[in-house]
Amino acid sequence: MSTLDRPLRTVAEGTATRLGGGATDDYISFCRAFRSLTRIDLGQYKRGQMERRVRTFALRGGVTDLVAYARTLESDPVELERFLDRVTINVSQLWRNPQQWSLLARDVITELAGGGSIRAWSAGSSYGAEAFTLAAVCKDAAATARVDILGTDIDKRMVERARRGWFSADDARDAPSAELRRWFVESGDGWQAKPELLRSVRFDVGDLLRIEPAKGSYDLILCRNTVIYFSEDVRDALHARLAEALRPGGYLLVGSTERVSSPAACGLESCLPFIYRKVA
Ligand SMILES: C[S@@+](CC[C@H](N)C(=O)[O-])C[C@H]1O[C@@H](n2cnc3c(N)ncnc32)[C@H](O)[C@@H]1O
C-alpha cells in the first residue's frame, strides 16, 4: 500500500462517533479518519497501547481532541510523517537477537538448503535489517543454495530505505564482526550491503492485515516484533495466514518473546520456543 504518496482525502468523520448512552469516542473517529488518509487501520491494533501512544503524541502539540488532530494530519504532511514514525515503531537492527540467528542457521537453514533454494519472507521488515541479516546467514550456512528473500512493510518510507541496503553503526552494534565484514562494506559512518546480498533481497510495501500470499509459497517466514502491536484475535488470524503461506516442512520464526498461541490449529508444530514447522 502507499501511505505518504497517496493523495490526501478529506477526513470523513468531522465529528466524534456517538456511542451508546451519548458518550463520544474520538479515538474511533480518529482511526477511521486515519485509515482514509493512509489506509493503515489502527482499529486492528491493541487499543490501550495504541490510543495512549496517539493521545500522548497529539497532546505534545496541545491537542486533546483526536478529531481535530486527524484534521491536522490531513493538512500537515510533516506532522503526518512524524506521527507515522510514532505509530509504526520501526526499531530494528542487524543480527537482532543473535541467539535466534545461530539457531536458525544451525537447525533450519542447513536443512532448507538441501532443497537447493530458499524462498523466504520477512513480514514486517522495517528498513530491511532483518532481511539482509537473513541473506547473510543463508549465504554462510548454505553457500550453494539460491536465496530469494522478500521483505514487506506497511511503511513506504522504511521500504524505500530498505532498498538501499545501508545501515548505521548503531544498527550493526550486535552484528558478529567477521560476518559483518564478509557481507557489508564500511560506508560513511555505517555499513553498505555488498551486491551479493542486494541481489538476494527485494522489498515491497504491504499491509500484513490485507496481504494474501499464495498458499505454500515460502520455505521460511520471519515475523518478529511486529504482531506485538496487534490485538490477540488479529495476531492469531495473521499467524494462521502465515502458516498457510508456508509449504509443508517450511518454518515460521517469531520474535524471541512471542509465540503462536495454537500452533496445531494452524498446522504448525513447535520446534524451539520461537521456531515452528509446518506439518507435512
Ligand atoms: C519493530 S519493527 C520489526 C522489524 C523487524 N521484523 C525486526 O524484528 O527487527 C515492526 C515493523 O512492523 C511494521 N508494521 C506494523 N504494522 C504492520 C502491518 N499491518 N503490515 C505490515 N507491517 C507492519 C512497522 O511499520 C515496523 O516497521
In a domain, 11, yes or no: no
First vs last C-alpha separation in the chain: 33
In a domain, 260, yes or no: yes
Mutate to test the pocket of ligand 1, among 45, 81, 153 (most ligand atoms within 8 A of CB): 153
Q: Whose CA is nearest to atom 26 of ligand 1?
A: 90
Instruction: State the residue range of the domain holding 34.
Output: 17-88
Number of domains in the chain: 2
104 shares its domain with 183: yes
CA–CA distance, 137 with 139 (Å, rounded to integer): 6
In a domain, 93, yes or no: no
102 shares its domain with 212: yes
177 shares its domain with 137: yes
Residue 272: give its domain's CATH number. Answer: 3.40.50.150
Write the CA distances from 111 to 118, 221, 277, 280, integer angstroms: 10, 15, 12, 15
Condensed to tens digits (0 to 9), the pLDDT of residues 62-76 reads 888 999 999 999 999
* Distance (Å) from CA 114 to ligand 1 centroid: 30
117 shares its domain with 243: yes
In a domain, 6, yes or no: no
Q: Which of 28, 61, 88 is the last residue of a domain?
A: 88
The torsion defined by the Cα of 241, 222, 45 and 14, in degrees rounded to 10, comes to -90
76 shares its domain with 120: no
* pTM of the predicted structure, to 2 decimals: 0.87
In a domain, 161, yes or no: yes
* Distance (Å) from CA 225 to ligand 1 centroid: 7
Q: Which of 88, 119, 146 is the last residue of a domain?
A: 88
112 shares its domain with 48: no
Condensed to tens digits (0 to 9), the pLDDT of residues 102-157 reads 999 999 999 999 989 999 999 999 999 999 999 999 999 999 999 999 999 999 99
* Distance (Å) from CA 144 to ligand 1 centroid: 30
In a domain, 119, yes or no: yes
Condensed to tens digits (0 to 9), the pLDDT of residues 218-231 reads 999 999 999 988 99
In a domain, 9, yes or no: no
Q: Whose CA is nearest to atom 27 of ligand 1?
A: 126
* Distance (Å) from CA 87 to ligand 1 centroid: 10
> C-alpha angle 15/154/217, rounded to 5°?
135
Mutate to test the pocket of ligand 1, among 154, 209, 224 (most ligand atoms within 8 A of CB): 154
